[in-house]
Structure 1
C-alpha cells in the first residue's frame, strides 16, 4: 500500500481521454429539436483534471487526441483550464476524438461517438516518458482500460507509479459500449482494483466487479481487506459507504435542484481528491466531493460546471445538508 500522505503534494497525473461535449441549447432542449449547441471540454479524465485545478490543485493529463480541428479544440480547452498537457499527443490516420452530444435535462439522451477513439491509441512508450516522481498520485478511469493499446499502457503506468511510491486512484467508470464483452471488463477491472490504493465507484460498478449486483458492497470491503487504503461505494441519492482498514463510514448527500445528472462522478472524485490533498479526514473528503457533485448537476456542462474553491465553500456554508445517511 502506498503512503496516502503523498497526496498532500496536490499534483495529480491522470490517464484518459479529453473530448468535446456538445450540449443542446438552451437547457431543457432535446437534441432533435436543437438549433444550436454549446461546445465545451469533456471526457471523464479531463473533467476530473478540471475539477482538481478549479479546487486549487495541479493536474497533468496523459492521453492522445486526434490530429484535427476537434483534437485542437481539446488542446486549447486544456490550456484554458490550466491542465498540463505536455503528455497529450496527437494521432493521425483514422483515429477520431471522443465526441458526446448531450442534453441538459434530468433524463437526458446522450449520443457518444467512440469508434476509432484516439485516446485508445495511447502506448506504453508514452507513459514511460513521464517523470512519476514529480506527482502526488496516479489517477486512472476505467474507460482507459477498455481497449488496446491503451489498456497495456495504463497497466504499465500502474507499475511505474508503484515503483515511484505514488498512490494509485482507480475510478471504475464502467461504460459498457467501450468494452468487447462484460467478461473482459470484469477480468480487467478486478486486476486494476487489486493494484489500486483508492477505488471509487457506484453500487452498479462494484456489483459488476463482483459478478453479482447484490455483492457490490462486499466487493468494496474485499478490496480493502486485500490491501486498498480506501474504497468509496457510492449509492446515488442514498449517499455513500466509505471503507478503510480501520472504519466504515456512511454519509448522505447534498440535495439540489438538478438540471442533469452528467458530470457528478467526475466532480465527486475531483472534490474528494482535493480534500484529501488538504489533509482532511476521509469522511470530510467524501462530503466535499458530494457537495461538488451537487453543484455540477445544477449547471450546464461538465468541465465548465466544476466549482472553484470559493464556490464550494460558499455552497457548504449556505446549503442545508448533508442528508441523513
Structure 2
C-alpha cells in the first residue's frame, strides 16, 4: 500500500448553505448544514485513505473537546494519527463556513496562535516509511521537516502553496513538486503573470511547478511552455475541500510512481467528484469511483 506522509492543519468545519452570502448584520436561515472535519492536511489525508493509500498525518491539536472530535473523525477514516501531537492547555482549530447556491465558499477560521510552532518530533526513525510527502504553507516548521525527510529518503515532496508563501521558504526549496493556488503564485511572484510566475518559482527552487485554477483546470511548465489540463465539467454542489483532495490525490499518484501528467489527471478527477457532492471532505471519492470516472472519459 502506498503511504503518504502529510503535515499541516486539522480542524472541524461548521458548514452552512445559504442562497447567497450574508451582506448585513442580521439573522439568516441555512438551507442545509453539516459538521465535518476540515483543514488542508486532514482533508488530504482522508482523500488518500479513501483512494486506497495509507495516510500518515502529522498535525498539532489542543487537548480540548474540539481536538477529540477532530481525531475521532479522522481515525474513523482509517488515517494513521500516531504523529499528531496534542498540546496541554491549547485550543484546537475550527471554522465557520458559508456556501452559496453556486457552491462558492466563505471561511472564518480560529486558530490558537500560542500553539507550539516547532516540529522536532518529525525527524529520523520516529517517522515511519512513506512513498511521498505532502505539506502546506500554514505550518512552516512541519512542512520543512517533512520535505527534508522526503529529500533524505529520495521520495517526492509536494507542497500545497498558498499565500503567504515566503514564510515556508525553506520547505519550498526542499520540495520536488510545488502546486500553487492562483493567489499563492501571484503572491510568490510579486504579481507576475502566470507564465512568468511559474518560471520564477522553478528558477528559485528547481522543483516541478504547477498552479491549480479551479474550474479552469491546472497549468504547469513543460520546458519553457505553459501547458494546461482542463478541469472535468461536472455540476458543482460544493467546492469546499476540493483543492485538498486534489493535493492528496496528486501526492498519492506520484508515490505510486505515476508521472506528473498522469498524477494531475487523477487529481483532477478526484477533485471533480468531490465538487459534485455537498459536505466538504465527506464528498471525497474512493479509488474505484475515480477509476470509473476516468474510464468513462477516456
* C-alpha contact (below 8 Å) 2:137/2:165 kept by paired residues: no
Match in the other structure for 1:235: 213
When the two structures are superposed, what TM-score results if normalisation uses the length of structure 1? 0.79
* C-alpha contact (below 8 Å) 1:199/1:228 kept by paired residues: no
Matched, 1:165 2:143: no
**Which of 182, 185, 190 pairs up with 1:206?**
185
Pick the structure with more strand per residue.
2
CA change 1:126–1:210 in 2 (3 A) is: same
CA distance in 2: counterparts of 1:216 and 1:248, whole angstroms: 9
Q: For this pair of structures, how many residues does the alignment match?
A: 292
Q: Secondary structure at the match of 2:193?
A: helix
Matched, 1:296 2:287: no
Structure 1 unmatched ranges of 5 or more: 1-8, 146-150, 175-184
1:1-325 to 2 correspondence within 5 Å?
Answer: 10-24=2-16, 32-34=28-30, 37-93=33-89, 95-105=90-100, 106=102, 108-116=104-112, 120-128=115-123, 131-132=126-127, 134-145=129-140, 151=141, 153-174=142-163, 185-212=164-191, 214-226=192-204, 228-243=206-221, 249-318=227-296
When the two structures are superposed, what TM-score results if normalisation uses the length of structure 2? 0.86
* C-alpha contact (below 8 Å) 1:102/1:108 kept by paired residues: no
CA change 1:99–1:285 in 2 (3 A) is: same
Pick the structure with more helix per residue.
1
Query: What do you get for the CA RMSD once the two structures are aligned?
Result: 2.8
Q: Secondary structure at the match of 2:84?
A: strand
Structure 2 unmatched ranges of 5 or more: 23-27
* C-alpha contact (below 8 Å) 1:29/1:103 kept by paired residues: no
* C-alpha contact (below 8 Å) 2:143/2:171 kept by paired residues: no
Match in the other structure for 1:4: none
* C-alpha contact (below 8 Å) 1:96/1:117 kept by paired residues: no
CA distance in 1: counterparts of 2:78 and 2:92, whole angstroms: 20
Q: Secondary structure at the match of 2:271?
A: helix
CA distance in 2: counterparts of 1:138 and 1:42, whole angstroms: 19
